Homo-oligomer: A and B are copies of this chain.
């Protein structure tokens, strides 16, 4: 199917390292992965930033002057802040790892590491700590679709849909803003190649518009001669 269309608000990651070139590199890699990234270059600023903006994950270098990463982690935990922490360090002595985990760290990467691996670990950690995000929700304006729960709301109102109706609106929603041809729709929603008979799509769009009510009906736009869109 199609490209991972992440429709949720992206997760916020704080990257802390005293080498600015490194924070920049990590930050841009994570941004490329779809995260909202901020950076700090020392322990005190990191502490302040964590308290103020409570990111979803902190990537924390151990070896920093003044306040090192372990100390930062220890302090935020002492303050009852439970944000997941991934330690970065050049040391790979087991003693350090022990300290890192004991201090309340969640993961530990030794330099040099691959940026992709960091991304994967951030993702895995988020999957564990942000339980909400696993039921994959899509929203477009007033419309909200929860794939896991198989539920659809328009505003406050829950809309009861048949399986085919659900697949159709879901397909349009994850491709919101892009016009989908009837052929594409049929291929996704009906899962097979159809022979030129696209009347069925029109029928189901009609069903959806009716169920969405007068306000919601406008959500699904017809692009004559091309297909349908949700904007």
Contacts and interface: CB of A to CB of B under 8 A. Distances in A.
A178 B135 contact: yes
Contact of A107 (B98, B102, B107): B107
B105 A117 contact: no
A20 to B, nearest CB: 26
B114 A101 contact: no
B106 A162 contact: no
Contacts of A148: 177-179
A229 B135 CA distance: 13
A209 B177 CA distance: 26
A150 B107 contact: no
Contact of A101 (B98, B102, B120): B120
A98 B124 contact: no
- Copies of this polypeptide in the complex: 2
A106 B135 contact: no
A132 B129 CA distance: 10
Contact of A129 (B94, B102, B128, B163): B128
A32 to B, nearest CB: 15
Of all A-B residue pairs in the complex, the 8 with the closest CB atoms, nearest first, are A163-B225, A101-B120, A148-B178, A150-B179, A101-B124, A150-B223, A128-B128, A106-B124
A5 interface: no
Interface in A2-39: none
Interface string A199-231: 000000000000000000000000111100101
A231 B158 CA distance: 14
Interface string A144-177: 0000111000000000001100000000000001
Given A148-B179, A223-B150, A94 B116 contact: yes
Interface in A93-118: 94, 97-98, 101-102, 104-107, 114, 116-117
A179 B123 CA distance: 24
Nearest to A178: B148
